[in-house]
Structure 1
Amino acid sequence: MKPYSVLHYPFQFTLENTRLKVLGDAPGLWYGTVYADSYIRNSQAITESGILAVANFSTVTEAFNFYSDYATSGDIVATADSRLYVEESTLEGDLVAYNGSTLGLFLERHSHWRGRAYVGYGEAELAVYLDKTSSWNLTGDTALKNFTNADMSFGNVNSNGFSVTYDADAPANKPLARRTFNLTGGGTVSPA
């Protein structure tokens, strides 16, 4: 079971046969006040900032000349709920969610991710799904709302000494049965 329902959002973005290299402090993908699905196929993403994707309540104006947040826009700024569906791709960088937003990463069909996931500010939710052919190379401790791995031996996760925690009460984590799993490299997957 994937960490989110099969509902797909009307806002969609696709990178196919693409090499995305983002310079400076910017994340590779930014989701501000949007409910969106991104599809990444046969592509590579590398960021100098080390941040692959951000989900936040803030937004950039249509003219791209002003960054709007709660302080400047008040209640009209909403959270982001976004998902990245990845196939046959290699991604580097962290997933970061802020202020009530959600961000999910689905790695399928021989995809590889090097990074970690964390909440940047406030409360937010992060989810990761791995099929048996995909892998995750951890670069830091990670706390997830949902963690679904088709390989229940977790042989496709290299911890590099870092650990992953999951919400034991989340329905998507029911197959994990509140257990702790040892990872290659010395880390663990355990209930929060």
Structure 2
Amino acid sequence: MLTSRRKALTDGSSWRGSLNEDNQADSASIALDRSSSWELTANSYVTSISDKDASFANIKSNGHNIYYDASQNSALAGRTIDLPGGGKLLPQTKG
């Protein structure tokens, strides 16, 4: 069964939660503008992530990580980025 999860945070909105926490969705994407914020409650697995704040300072990790598909996020170039709150944005390893 094809499952897709999408979240867009715009216009100063905030969201507290996780996206695709169980890593079972075929596709999961999130987009944030500079004025919006995401507070993680668990690790999240995304196919794509875009953030108008290139420093990702609008994501409060609470020690949780966001794993992304490197093949779908060429702008991140496979980098690992430290997030506020002790977690990381990092490429998901297959296997």
- Between the two structures, name the one with larger relative contact order (CA 8 Å, sep ≥ 6): 2
2:80 alignment partner AA = T
Scaled by the length of structure 1, what TM-score is found? 0.46
Query: How far apart, in 1, do the equivalents of 2:32 and 2:65 lie?
Result: 16
1:184 alignment partner, SS class: coil
- Name the Cα RMSD after superposition: 1.6
Q: Percent identity?
A: 35
Scaled by the length of structure 2, what TM-score is found? 0.89
Work out whether 1:130 is the aligned partner of 2:32: yes
Larger radius of gyration: 1
Contact 2:3 2:26 in 1 (8 A): yes
Query: How far apart, in 2, do the equivalents of 1:187 and 1:180 lie?
Result: 10
For structure 2, the 5+ residue unaligned runs are none
1:121 and 1:174, CA in 2 relative to 1: closer, same or farther beyond 3 A?
closer
Query: How far apart, in 2, do the equivalents of 1:177 and 1:131 lie?
Result: 20
Alpha-carbon deviation of 1:139?
0.2
2:20 alignment partner, SS class: strand
Contact 2:23 2:44 in 1 (8 A): no
For structure 1, the 5+ residue unaligned runs are 1-98
- Higher strand proportion: 1
